[in-house]
Amino acid sequence: MDPSRDDNRPSAIVQQYWAIYPRFLQDLFVQAFVAGAHHPGQRVTEGQWIKAMDRLRDGMVTCRGCGATGFWDLAEPDRTCRACGTSLAPPYVLKIGRRTVAVSPLATLRTDHLASGVDDSVVVGQVRAHPQDATRWGLHNLSTRPWEATYGAGQVVRLEPDRTMEISDGMRIAVDSATVLATRWQGA
């Protein structure tokens, strides 16, 4: 989809879905199929696609208004649901190194978040909504090792495998050699 040419447009159904995706992914498609089509040195590499798909997955959320799946991104924090217009801003974000995961029922913590160069990523944590209170969120330990969490006030809690702890602002969770920082998202 060349943004400067009307004769190079995909079908109407593809154009409807274009707006669902964050700008970083749209830009990558334009680079791959416009500039890269004519200039091999500008083609998108496999590594760029992998990073983009990881970033897209890390921002996948469920709309609080209608339940549709959407994509939130740190670079576009004001994104809204395509179906109902509700803000897609997550209540919290989990920061792991350079990665940011939007807290939602679709969010997972994976081994590729914890260390670079992981080819076969494994889910080690799952975000869960509280069953009675939609404003409360937890992180469930799916790994085989305990985690250590330090709450903002300094309280240290050990999270055993197959247990869930509530996510709170400023919480730090030691998972293997990585630190996960939970932050309340200001736009939520």
The 10s digit of each residue's pLDDT in 168-188 is 999 999 999 999 999 999 865
> Is the pLDDT score of 107 beyond 80?
yes
Q: What percentage of residues in the chain have a pLDDT greater than 70?
A: 97
Band (pLDDT 50/70/90 cuts) for residue 117 is confident
Q: Is residue 21 part of a domain?
A: no
d(CA 136, CA 122): 25
What residues make up the domain containing 176? Answer: 90-188
Within 10 A of 185 (CB to CB), how many other CB atoms are there? 17
Q: Is residue 157 part of a domain?
A: yes
Q: Is residue 135 part of a domain?
A: yes
Q: What is the CATH number of the domain that holds 118?
A: 2.60.200.20
Give the range among 34-38, 58-62, 67-71, 175-179 with minimum mean pLDDT: 34-38
Band (pLDDT 50/70/90 cuts) for residue 22 is very high
Q: Is residue 33 part of a domain?
A: no
- Closest CA relative to residue 13, chosen from 4, 25, 24, 1: 1
CA 44 distance to own-chain centroid: 21
Q: Is residue 24 part of a domain?
A: no
Q: Is residue 139 part of a domain?
A: yes
d(CA 95, CA 112): 13
Q: Is residue 35 part of a domain?
A: no
Helices first, then strands: H and E counts in the chain: 5, 12
16: its two tokens: 């409807």
In eight-state DSSP terms, residue 175 is E
Q: Is residue 76 part of a domain?
A: no
Burial 2-28 (b: 16+ CB within 10 A, else e): eeeeeeeeeeeeeeeeeebbbebbeeb
Q: What percentage of residues in the chain have a pLDDT greater than 90?
A: 75
> Is the pLDDT score of 6 beyond 80?
no
pLDDT in tens, 63-105: 999 999 999 999 999 999 999 999 999 999 999 999 999 999 9
What's the structural domain count of the chain? 1
79: its two tokens: 């994104």
pLDDT for position 169: 96
Angle, alpha carbons 132-138-142 (nearest 5°): 125
Which residue shows structure tokens 């029922």? 105
